[in-house]
A and B are shown apart, each in its own frame.
Chain A
């Protein structure tokens, strides 16, 4: 009996794609961290559980799942097993998240030799993505990306393609048996499936427009779109059936709802009805989108008659590096960014505007706009504050270094120290003097972040927190002239409050 090689290598890439999903877990497995009792940490397992944690959060529609939340979860999960403090848990969850979502932004990828096509190919995949961002606390929240969901589903026994149908089936069984609480959870899972489908359709829709370059790719997309459409309509039918089934159950329960037990069940079935309705609505929208996609795909194919794409283009190599390493005349850069810019808009003024309605402004408000410098925009001010905070912190660090273990130091000593230790360039800069003047001006300063305080010193205060309770800066006799440009009065900086206590 002959074994057909073609049969074996068929769809090699698809299979590889599934295999590659597990790579990040192996990467985690290779990590060798230990807890404080030198017990090795099970990165592999914790990594997988972290994915389940994000999955669960998506199920209960909790969008706020970030590093902190994961750390809390891990600490609850493992407190019996490991001896780690919360800081270390945060570090651990950061490590795990970084494996699933590389901090460089570069996608996780895997090169492999495709035995079916005989070419080197690359698979890119994304397990975790940023879902949500809280500007106030500067925290990023995460959720599973497409392949992340696939990975989770791959650990169940069935494929994600049938996930929704299977969930529908389970739901039906549960309803038949009267397990209404379980049914609600099932609906949540279905909601996730629909969400996954939504993402997939969105991605494919854009991919089609970008990628149809040949008849072959067109056929591939056509079959993908057909599959999706077929699947959606099948699922839609099932939804309809489920709905009528729920309706029947509801009607049946309505007659019996006088009993206490039945009343609760009736409440549940009402909720099930409502939630299923929502999911179904979203699903039905996908159905219409998929029909839409069929026409877009055709449109795109039509367009591709005029469009001939190239197979490979490396922007970095062929454009960026050429521009900068040759180097090309600077003006070329303008021409290369041209496509990213926009058209000039003509702004015309019509003499008839003289007769149009005029707003009557308050006397005195006009005419005051003769000014030299434009005020800084809000973001510009924020930028500046940030820069100053950083610079001040740096100077404070140097000062602390100069103080060594003492509690007090004069500015003269600090300057001497800086000259000896290669910090001379900072003395050339006004920021250094601004810093001391500001300290003197606001002395004594309480080491505590308060509102309405001068924000400039925030970072400095953070740095000193725990070291002392107050800082005081007083003038002492003598003038200092660190270089030709600046002259400043000598001052003495004193840290007050217990430094050793902590």
Chain B
């Protein structure tokens, strides 16, 4: 009864986890590795301060939110990072606009790809599993 909502929620929380939940392990791992790598590559390119910014880039942030836990972790990092100083002691961490552009596209596309994965997990959760299909096909007593 709660299979489809649970698969959707898990797919949003961790990309690919919805597929793993409905028994599509290989598919889930491919989505998990690809989407997570794409998202964090974007954050590494643009820096967390300018890439994940709900006030400056609200619509892009909504797309990033589709990656669930990844976006949450990046936003927590955004809040924790000191906006006044860079890691190497510089006075600013503002990225070049080209870096920001590429970084936002990476993270936004990762979110939209996870939206596709969530919808696919929901669709697969509604289908009968392979085991139940085999059971239905075989009459009782036949091994």
Q: Do A and B bind each other?
A: no
Identify the B interface with A (CB < 8 A). none
Chain A residues within 8 Å of B, Cβ to Cβ: none
